[in-house]
Chain A
Amino acid sequence: MSGEPQKSSTESLILLLTEHQERLFRYIFSLVPVEADAKDILQETSVALFRKFDQYDPARPFLPWAYRFAYLQVQKHRGKSSRSPLLFSEDVIDLLAAERERHEPVLEERLRLLDRCLEKLTPDDRALLTSRYARHESAESMMRRFSLSRRTLFRNLEGLRRRLHDCVTRHLETEGLA
């Protein structure tokens, strides 16, 4: 329709993945909340999408199609590491995947509002956020940096996320309907 030159399918997939990989990552992470595992699964999902890309109908939205592959990779991963104490049981994963689909528009809206809350963080919270999320520091190094016990450190991280979550909820409520 636009008269653009035909893109190769690899190129199209790369463009789609670049555009959607953060949402895909968040989907996977909500089912397997371990960062390294979620990254692996995203990679495996990318490969699966690459192999099956000829079956993709560009007239359909990309994400729902990609989520199906991600879901299969999550199940596969669950099967491989069935004894990990960090992973959810299959029935819980199913429940979460279904709930997430229903709740996704709200989740997206919440992330849009998160920026405003990040701007309002106190210097202490900002320092905590930087070392945990931007620098990916280990708990040990953070305990030294902030002179905190392990327990207090994680309680502070919980507090940080809780404040951000509450702030987003407040914005969502006052903003009402877009």
Chain B
Amino acid sequence: MNPGSLIHACLDGEISPEERERLESILRDDWEARRLYLELADLHARLLREPSVSTGRITSVAARRKTRTRPVVLAILAAAAAIVVSGAFWMSRPATEDESVSSGVAMLGETMDAVFSGDGLRAGDTLVPGRVNLESGLAQIEFFSGATLLAEGRAELEVISAWEVRCLSGRIRVRVPPAAKGFLVYSPDLKLEDLGTEFALNVRDGASDVHVFEGEVIAHTGVKAPESLTDGMSLAHGDLPVTPGSFLPLGDLAGQRLSRAESRYRDWQSWSQQVARDPGVIGYYPMERPGDDRWDRLVRNAAEPRVPSRAGGAVGVRWTEGRWPQKDALEFKRPGDRVRLNLEGTYQAITLACWVKVDSVDKKYNSLLLTDGYENGEPHWQIYEDGSLMFSIIYRPEGGERTGKWNQMYFSRPVFTAESLGRWHHLAVTYDGESGEVVQYFDGNEVGRGVSALHVPRREVVFGPCEIGNWGLPTEGHQFPVRNLNGAIDEFLIQGTACSPLEILAMYERGRPRP
């Protein structure tokens, strides 16, 4: 039997004592045999525990919610019970769930100081049928039928379907475009059938007042025959006449949002000016559209003192809105989109940080910052297909094979999930060349920390020609050369020191889009 077959026999428990002795003596003498054994044992163990394909790419919202909450709770209960019973505990791995169909019927649109009771809803969340209780603030609900509802202050709503909503109490305003004609709004004493219009509804103590601003609404009271309400007409439950002024006005949301955004933006600007003067900064790209570049392709390096050679060049990418309406960002969509940089110098430690809105993690590797090719000391920072952050740096020994695995790789836990896509998030990674420690952050929180087994202290980090959002010069014959980011980047910081967790947290706090 050859060494391979001995290993397989050993894993299958089909090995005789003599054969085992032979295998042992091979393992003692030959490190390659030890590696082969370890690889096969790992493969066998993985199959024993999880015989099917593991869930690779990001799973759907519903599936994630399930795996995240229930099994952990069960595991804790099971573990607690096992400790009590036997002093030992054993947890089963949460079962991988089948991808479930999204049951969303609406989306939470813009909000302003909105506080919800129960689940902490955030702008952009998908809503499934159920109660939405607004405690205070303003919130806009966008139904998949096309109807839009704005609620202010205390409001109790029940989202029934893409075509129906119930208002139990509160002040709401509804706009129904032609495509959503027939949208139904229920109140405790009314059913309103909207024939393409804009109207407001106030519900207090189980009684409703309606005012139609535009178009037509059929009001079913259940007592009288259905009543048609058109432009400017109101329907009051009491004897007191109602005026348009007692209903929820529009325009507040947009106006208030803008002034709130303005103050966040100014706060970020003052922080940004400090960063630009930090002597440790290698390159700092706030991603603000240059007013004086007629070509619109200059990505300014704001670091002081100015180093013109470190300015970025935009290729393909388009300017778009950033974290605030006042702020620009660069959108990366097509395979050619990229920002070219050339950063000279050697560094003992680095920090990479950026604000990014990822629309989709659709490739195996999705670029944040990659050097051209992959030479010694060059870092690569990307998002892996499972939504985790991946930082790697390569040091190929003299005469080491080109195809060998010489890069130190670090993965965070998955951070890009269905919930975090399409929103602005702060990503950061620090690498310390002395300790080899890599710490990864998502929105100011640590999501990964480790030292590679391949680490050797005091090797330098270099960049040279590199790119934000793409891989400029894939290594020859690479299987995954296309790595363009699908999303937008608003601010990119490259620093020649490893920032502390507090510094990273401050970056997040000062730059977050909303308070």
Contact = CB atoms under 8 A, between A and B. Distances in A.
Contacts of B502: 1
Interface of A: 1-2, 10-11, 14-15, 17-19, 21-22, 25-26, 29-30, 33-35, 38, 42-44, 46-47, 50, 61, 85-86, 88-89, 91-92, 95-96, 99-107, 109-111, 114-115, 118-119, 129-130, 132-134, 154, 157-158, 161-162, 164-165, 168, 171-178
A106 B407 CA distance: 10
Contacts of A165: 39-40, 43
A105 B454 contact: yes
A95 B27 contact: yes
Contact of A177 (B10, B28, B407, B451): B407
Given A95-B27, A114-B46, A177 B41 contact: no
Contact of B51 (A47, A133, A158, A177): A133
Given A86-B13, A109-B409, A1 B45 contact: no
Contacts of A15: 72
Interface string B444-478: 11100111111000000000000000000001011
Nearest to B18: A85
B75 to A, nearest CB: 6
Contacts of A95: 27-28, 34
B271 interface: no
Given A29-B41, A162-B4, A14 B75 contact: yes
A146 B358 CA distance: 49
Q: Is the interface of A mostly helix, strand, loop or mixed?
A: helix
B45 A172 contact: no
B13 A14 contact: no
Interface string B362-400: 000100000000100000101000000010101000000
A110 B453 contact: no
Contacts, number: 195
Nearest to A35: B48
A21 B91 contact: yes
B377 to A, nearest CB: 13
Given A29-B45, A106-B405, A172-B405, A92 B24 contact: yes
Contacts of B452: 105
Contacts of A17: 91
B5 interface: yes
Interface stretch (B82-90, B296-304, B488-496): B82-90
Interface stretch (B52-60, B119-127, B176-184): B52-60
B38 A14 contact: no
B8 A162 contact: yes
B449 A157 contact: no
A2 B445 CA distance: 6
A102 B10 CA distance: 23
A88 B15 CA distance: 12
Contacts of A119: 53
